[in-house]
Amino acid sequence: MTIETVSENRSHSGTQGVYKHPSTETGTDMTFSVFVPPQADDRPCPVLWYLSGLTCTHANVTEKGEYRAACAKAGIIFVAPDTSPRGEGVADDDAYDMGQGAGFYVDATQEPWSPHFRMRSYVERELPALIAEHFPADMDRQGITGHSMGGHGALTIGLRNPETFRSISAFAPIVSPLNCPWGEKALSGYLGEDRADWREYDACALIADGARADALLIDQGTADQFLEEQLKPQLLAEACKDAGIPLTLNMRSGYDHSYYFISSFMADHVAWHARRLKA
């Protein structure tokens, strides 16, 4: 598999790169960013995946996430894919919460989305194989995190693949797409009207159906404008309590849904993952 280097910059004694490749899963070119810490000069390093939210690309966290110092200190490779396929011939919607920029990390089964919207397979299979081939990554030590729609992606992908991901966290995640307007619109559009087909894309439903994790870390701002209607972290707290999953749910007073919030606690998440990936 080939990749094209879009840019590379020295940062915190490591390398921040942006790359592009032709994806077989999405049938489009896909862009992603990778920070490689200085420790990778001597040995393969653990990988932390970051999945972005609605309307975002790889660039949002790359430019505003403030993760590089923490990753350089901990010796963690940080990978940030795009949120959806893009380009001419790729289905889209006029609304911001459907279509390009809003892939919801599913493999779509419905037209017009199914030919290209295969972000689940892209993140779970294709891009990890590319990372393993082209970067000094220890693929036996992977963690995953994300924000909002990407927090939903991190939780569901992590819970479905416990043999791959040793650690799972999220910032302001959509914890139950079955029970919020964003999720109901996206999952019905991408997967059809049978709600049983949605359950593997809902963290709370996955836990109710038997998925387990050693621990989960969630940070959520109390001033988040989407908290009550879309995010509903209390549903995840209830699911984890019923399943006996240790959940750290930090309700951060006064913080909103923006990267001012994410960047404030990114170093905490990187350190939390590093402890588990190095154990």
Instruction: Tell me the catalytic residues.
Output: 148, 224, 257
Query: Nearest Cα to 35, choosing from 51, 47, 17, 48?
Result: 17
User: Six-digit token pair at 134?
Assistant: 């082209």
Question: Sign of dihedral through CA atoms 269, 270, 275, 279?
Answer: positive
Cβ-proximal residues to 49 (8 Å cutoff; 6+ apart), any chain:
79, 80, 81, 123, 142, 143, 144, 145, 146, 154
Residues 109 and 190: beta-carbon distance below 8 Å: yes
Distance CA 57, CA 80 (A): 9
Q: Which amino acid is at 226?
A: F
Classify strands 247-252 and 216-221 as parallel, antiparallel or unpaired: parallel
Residues 73 and 156: beta-carbon distance below 8 Å: no
